[in-house]
Structure formats: C-alpha cells, structure tokens
Amino acid sequence: MSKFEFHFDSFMAAYKFYNQYAMKNNDGSLYLEDFEDRVLMNALYMADGDEKLANNLAFAMINRRYQPATPTFLNAGRKRRGEFVSCFLLQLTDDMNSIGRTINSALQLSKNGGGVGLNLTNLRAAGAPIKGYDGVAAGVVPVMKLFEDALLDSQSIGATTRCWCSLFITFPSRYFI
C-alpha cells in the first residue's frame, strides 16, 4: 500500500482515530494498526477477493472520497468485532413470546454495539380485550417499560444502549401519552 499516503488534517482527527478506531493489544497499551492499515483491512474485506475493487476502495478512502459507516470501518476484517451496521429495527407481534424474544434480541444487538428501534404498532391498545375479556390489555407503555429496564440493566454491565420506539399515527391507545 506504499502508493497511498495519508496524513490527518488535525490533531483531533488523529486522536479520534487512535483513541476509538485503531486496533490495540488486549491491555490497550500498544497500537497494532495505523489509519492506512485500517483502510486496507476495510478495502480487502469489502472487495471480497476482487483486487481491483480493493485498490479502488482504498484509494477512495485515503483520498476522502468514500468513508464507510463507523461500525463498518471499525469492525471490518476483525475476528473479535461488533456489527457492521449501527441501527436495527425490531418488530413485535402481540404475544408474550414475541415480546420476550424481542427483548432478548434487543439485548444481544445492544451488547454488540447496535442501536435498536422497536415498532410497537402491532401491540393492543390499553383497555383492549384479551381472550374475550374487555379492558384487560395494558397497552404499549408497560412493554416500553420492560425494554427500558432490560436495556438499562445491560448498560450497567458496560454495553452501549440506544433505543427508540415507534407507533403509527393510527395506533388506537388513548392511554399512550
């Protein structure tokens, strides 16, 4: 990669790269790569064996014409890595199994550094009937509380937690807000 030469524009840019992106040894005391190495690893990983594409990607990254998203740039080519994307949208259905599986999925994605979005539109409104009994559905707020509690607990063990919830405007819950 000697035909590519990169220089950071500022101290802060170099500091950011070496503080947050550069691979370090297990105790964090030694840098194992520089910016050109990280670019090359990304280019080779994304090109998947295509040497010409790898060269073009590396050239574009070194010359600031292309920059992969942060999770991709950070994780490409690493054995111990997080996800290549930073945001995931999970859809729940209106049953306890789905809610439980989705909480687990949100925790796993959050553990690997991913942000999680939840579409709660399929949940019953507060007061809706369940199995023929009127007025028993709790609505979306208790489900949101379950996710909040689970993700806050995961945050306390060092995971990054980012989560948002969405509902379509036509959601019928009068007790949502």
- Tens of pLDDT, residue by residue over 58-77, are 999 998 889 888 888 888 88
For 33, the domain range is: 11-75
Do residues 62 and 94 both lie within one domain?
no
Q: How many domains does the chain have?
A: 2
pLDDT at 177 over 50: no
Do residues 64 and 122 both lie within one domain?
no
**Is 161 a domain residue?**
yes
pLDDT at 4 over 90: no
Question: pLDDT, tens digit, for every residue of 153-173?
Answer: 665 454 455 566 666 655 555
CATH number at residue 149: 3.30.1620.10
| In contact, 29 and 35? CB cutoff 8 Å | no
Q: pLDDT band at residue 140, thresholds of 50, 70 and 90?
A: confident
Do residues 156 and 94 both lie within one domain?
yes
Domain termination site, one of 20, 52, 75: 75
**Is 56 a domain residue?**
yes
Beta pairing, strands 115-119 & 163-166: parallel
Do residues 48 and 98 both lie within one domain?
no
pLDDT at 45 over 90: yes
**Is 123 a domain residue?**
yes
pTM given for the model: 0.55
Do residues 94 and 53 both lie within one domain?
no
Mean pLDDT in residue range 75-84: 77
Average pLDDT, rounded, for the chain: 82
**Is 6 a domain residue?**
no
Query: What whole-number distance in Å separates Cα of residue 159 and Cα of residue 177?
Result: 29
Q: Which residues contact 21 (CB under 8 A, 6 or more apart)?
A: 38, 73, 74
111-141 b/e (C-beta count within 10 Å ≥ 16 → b)? bebbbbebebbebbebebeeeeeeeebbbbe
**Is 4 a domain residue?**
no
Q: Is 131 left (phi over 0), alpha (psi -120 to 50) or beta?
A: left
| In contact, 104 and 153? CB cutoff 8 Å | no
64 compared with 82, residue with greater pLDDT: 64
